């Protein structure tokens, strides 16, 4: 099928660029969910995902990789924020889709229990829209409205969380969200960005050791 073929193209495109097994497993899961995705979005969420991953592959600096991640996630979700961990602070690095007072801002990394759990446990958390998010200890910009849902994903490098990615989009449980796979696509991009960051930092370490050896 068309989506399975695109998933195979994605895996082939990742050969030789240091992609982790987690990335390829995630792509296999997307391929298996193909019929539902194809019905909901004829023509190709995976083609868009492939373009975003190629942009990550072409990015050769830490800042460029994070920017490519934010742009790629922004093509999948309606709202995206990438927050870098700077000591005890989460710095708003990049954002898309936010308006008015809901724009992301810098905040203490341990001031919200949900974010502390994402960072400490290194696990993604899904946030429901509307009333479902009211009982959660989260900053206002991470509370999706009714009909939307959100995912908060830790970005890890060598086992250490260096950033948090927030993405919001249509709730797949609503009629308009039937078959939506945007959150899985965002997670694939985060995992691939992690692989790219590890690749760049490892290469720089080798260059420094070679130059000083």
- Kindly state the DSSP code that residue 18 receives in the 8-state scheme: T
CA–CA separation, 204 vs 53, rounded Å? 22
CA–CA separation, 170 vs 29, rounded Å? 20
Query: Does 99 score more than 90 pLDDT?
Result: no
Instruction: Tell me the pLDDT tens digit for each residue of 3-58.
Output: 445 445 555 555 554 555 555 555 555 555 444 444 444 346 788 899 999 999 99
Question: What is the predicted pLDDT for the residue at 2?
Answer: 45
CA–CA separation, 32 vs 39, rounded Å? 14
Q: How far is CA 206 from the centre of its chain?
A: 28
CATH number of the CATH domain containing 86: 3.30.450.40
Query: Does 93 score more than 70 pLDDT?
Result: yes
pTM of the model: 0.78
Tokens of 44: 């190709």
CA–CA separation, 87 vs 140, rounded Å? 22
Question: What is the predicted pLDDT for the residue at 175?
Answer: 79
- What's the mean pLDDT when you consider all of the chain? 82
Dihedral in degrees, nearest 10, Cα atoms 202, 17, 1, 171: 30
Domain containing residue 206: 2-212
134 pLDDT band (50/70/90 cuts)?
A: confident
Number of domains in the chain: 1
**CA angle at 179 for the pair 173 and 185, rounded to the nearest 5°:** 105
Q: Which residue is it, tokens 């809901």?
A: 102
């Amino acid at each position: 099928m068309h989506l399975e073929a695109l998933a195979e193209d994605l895996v082939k495109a990742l050969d030789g660029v240091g992609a982790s097994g987690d990335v390829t497993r995630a792509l296999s899961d997307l391929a298996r969910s193909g019929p539902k995705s194809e019905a909901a979005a004829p023509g190709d969420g995976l083609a868009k995902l492939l373009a975003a991953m190629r942009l990550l592959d072409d990015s050769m600096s830490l800042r460029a990789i994070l920017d490519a991640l934010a742009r790629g996630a922004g093509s999948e979700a309606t709202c995206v924020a990438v927050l870098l961990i700077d000591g005890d602070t989460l710095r708003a690095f990049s954002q898309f889709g936010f308006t008015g007072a809901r724009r992301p801002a810098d905040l203490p990394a341990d001031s919200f229990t949900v974010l502390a759990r994402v960072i400490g446990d290194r696990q993604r958390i899904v946030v429901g829209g509307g009333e479902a998010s009211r009982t959660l200890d989260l900053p206002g910009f991470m509370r999706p409205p009714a009909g939307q849902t959100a995912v908060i994903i830790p970005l890890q490098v060598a086992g250490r969380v260096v950033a948090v990615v927030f993405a919001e989009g249509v709730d797949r449980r609503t009629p308009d969200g039937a078959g939506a796979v945007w959150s899985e696509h965002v997670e694939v991009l985060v995992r691939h960005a992690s692989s790219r960051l590890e690749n760049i930092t490892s290469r720089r370490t080798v260059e420094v050791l070679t130059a000083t050896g």
